[in-house]
Chains A and B, each alone.
Chain A
Amino acid sequence: KQEVTQIPAALSVPEGENLVLNCSFTDSAIYNLQWFRQDPGKGLTSLLLIQSSQREQTSGRLNASLDKSSGRSTLYIAASQPGDSATYLCAVREAAGNKLTFGGGTRVLVKP
């Protein structure tokens, strides 16, 4: 059974610092991996999707890497801003089936 772990569970940084969020998964037979953002009381917003054949994806200040063989992904957020404060979730989609398996999330606070 696929298990997804995110470390740390919570992170607090001063504004301007770079953020590094880690995600690990136990079964490397994945179809793709997604990073989501969740704001309190709201649904999930997709940030980046990395296909299994890709090594990284970039969007603005966000960069996500994927090392399928070691079962790891890292989300980098450059020059953090208070508006980046949210919970970040990674999710893997396995080769068989369409469901996503989520990690527990990393709660990020960027202090002005």
Chain B
Amino acid sequence: EMQLVESGGGLVQPGGSVRLSCAASGFAFSRYSMNWVRQAPGKGLEWVSYISSGGNTIYADSVKGRFTISRDNAENSLHLQMSSLRAEDTAVYYCVRPSGYCSGGTCYGAFDIWGQGTMVTVSS
């Protein structure tokens, strides 16, 4: 069974940091680009960050310079280092696998596999 399991969320103070992790299983993780998507309480879905199978990264403007996505293909894991956190970063963070196409070294896709999500609350 293809599965993504996130961990690392919790309560963080404004300005603080937290590292999210996502463990992948049941598919060839190293061959896929991966993304993080978040959802603030009662709100819609927001794409956060992308990493290619080889480690190239793209970020939403709202998190650029504060968040860092990384992966360990040997460990089948994805990470999101979140720093300088703000109240508006409060959300459920989902690790997602895209299925689509690649062009010019960047891959694009609809998200066919989602983790269960991990909640990050930024509050004093």
A, B co-complexed: no
B residues near A (Cβ < 8 Å) are none
* A→B interface (CB under 8 Å): none
